């Protein structure tokens, strides 16, 4: 991912100015928020979840589900909004997902979700901004 050119790029100073320290740690340094710590985990209204880094629409609320993991979970992203890479950190092999527009780390995708996709996009809530449907 480090050599991939994304449509939205910012300097480190610009990222730090745009993001809170927790958002920066998660989105730019591949961190993870504490499970259960984000209010968006409990968001149930109709609407869209956007990337905090670049405002790209990432997930529609109709595809959000309760996974019991402590992070917002979705079974399918907005088409073209998410890219993946192999994450070999912490002695595991996982699939990392990041924003296709700015490259920000969002979370991971697992193959233990509900139908119809069977996928669980486990996303750090601090990387998301929710906008209710009009």
What is the per-residue DSSP string for 84-120?
EEEE-GGG--EEEEEETTT--EEEEEES---TTT--E
Q: What CATH number is associated with residue 119?
A: 2.170.150.20
Residue positions annotated with a catalytic role: 122
Asked if the structure places residue 64 within a domain, the reply is yes
Report the distance separating Cα 110 and Cα 122, nearest Å. 8
Asked if the structure places residue 6 within a domain, the reply is no
Within a 10 A sphere around the Cβ of 53, how many other Cβ atoms? 26
State the Cα angle at 7 between 20 and 78, rounded to 5°: 80
Asked if the structure places residue 7 within a domain, the reply is no
Count of domains for the chain: 1
DSSP code of 70? S
**Weakly modelled stretches of the chain, pLDDT under 50:** 1
Asked if the structure places residue 5 within a domain, the reply is no
The residue among 81, 62, 68 whose CA lies nearest residue 122 is 68
Q: pTM to 2 decimals?
A: 0.93
b/e map of 71-108 (b: 16 or more CB within 10 Å)? Answer: bbbbbebbeebbbeeebeeeeeebebbbbbbbbbbbbb
Asked if the structure places residue 58 within a domain, the reply is yes
Asked if the structure places residue 117 within a domain, the reply is yes
And the tokens for 127?
């990387």
DSSP secondary structure of 38-58: -GGGG--SSEEEEETTT--EE
Note down the domain range covering 117. Answer: 12-132
pLDDT of residue 1: 43
């Amino acid at each position: 991912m480090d050599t991939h050119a994304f449509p939205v790029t910012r300097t480190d100073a610009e990222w730090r100015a745009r993001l809170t320290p927790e958002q920066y740690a998660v989105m730019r340094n591949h961190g993870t928020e504490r499970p259960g710590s984000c209010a968006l985990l409990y968001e149930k209204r109709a609407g869209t979840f956007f990337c905090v880094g670049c405002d790209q629409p990432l997930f529609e609320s109709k595809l959000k589900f309760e996974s019991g993991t402590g992070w917002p979970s979705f079974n399918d992203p907005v088409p073209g909004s998410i890219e993946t890479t192999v994450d070999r950190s912490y002695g595991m092999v996982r699939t990392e997902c990041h924003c296709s527009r700015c490259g920000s780390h969002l979370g991971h995708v697992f193959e233990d979700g509900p139908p119809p996709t069977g996928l669980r996009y486990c996303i750090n809530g601090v990387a998301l901004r929710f906008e209710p449907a009009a």
